[in-house]
Structure 1
Amino acid sequence: MKVEDILKTKATLSIKKKVLINLQLASAKTSSEMMSSLKSFDISAQQFNVLRILRGQEKKPANLNTIQERMVNKMSNTTRLIDKLIDKKLVERCICEENRRKIEVTITKEGLELLKKIDPEIKKLEENSTKNLSEIELKELNTLLEKLRS
Structure 2
Amino acid sequence: MKIEDAIKQTKPFRNNRHKAMVNLIYTHNFIVDQLRSKIKPFGITMQQYNVLRVLRGAGEPISTSVIRERLLDKMADTSRMVNRLHQKGLVTRNECEHDKRLVDISLTEAGYALLEQLDLLNPDMDKIVGSITEEEATTLSNLLDKIRS
Contact 1:94 1:105 in 2 (8 A): yes
Partner of 1:4: 7
Contact 1:35 1:45 in 2 (8 A): yes
Aligned residues: 146
In structure 2, C-alpha distance between the alignment counterparts of 1:16 and 1:51, rounded to whole Å? 35
Alignment-mate amino acid for residue 64 of structure 2: L
Contact 2:13 2:19 in 1 (8 A): no
In structure 2, C-alpha distance between the alignment counterparts of 1:27 and 1:117, rounded to whole Å? 24
Partner of 2:15: 14
Q: In the alignment, is residue 24 of structure 1 matched against residue 25 of structure 2? A: yes
Tell me the CA shift for residue 12 of structure 1. 4.5
State the identity %: 32
Q: Cα deviation per residue 1:105-131 (whole Å; 9 max; x = unaligned)?
A: 0011100000000112133112x1221
In structure 2, C-alpha distance between the alignment counterparts of 1:88 and 1:95, rounded to whole Å? 19
Tell me the CA shift for residue 3 of structure 1. 5.3
SS in 2 for 1:106: strand
In structure 2, C-alpha distance between the alignment counterparts of 1:129 and 1:35, rounded to whole Å? 12
Tell me the CA shift for residue 132 of structure 1. 1.3
The runs of 5 or more residues in structure 2 that have no matched partner are none
Please give the TM-score of this superposition, normalised by the length of structure 2: 0.92
Q: Cα deviation per residue 1:8-60 (whole Å; 9 max; x = unaligned)?
A: x53353101110011011100011111111110000000000000000111x1
SS in 1 for 2:81: helix
The runs of 5 or more residues in structure 1 that have no matched partner are none
In structure 2, C-alpha distance between the alignment counterparts of 1:48 and 1:12, rounded to whole Å? 36
Alignment-mate amino acid for residue 24 of structure 2: L
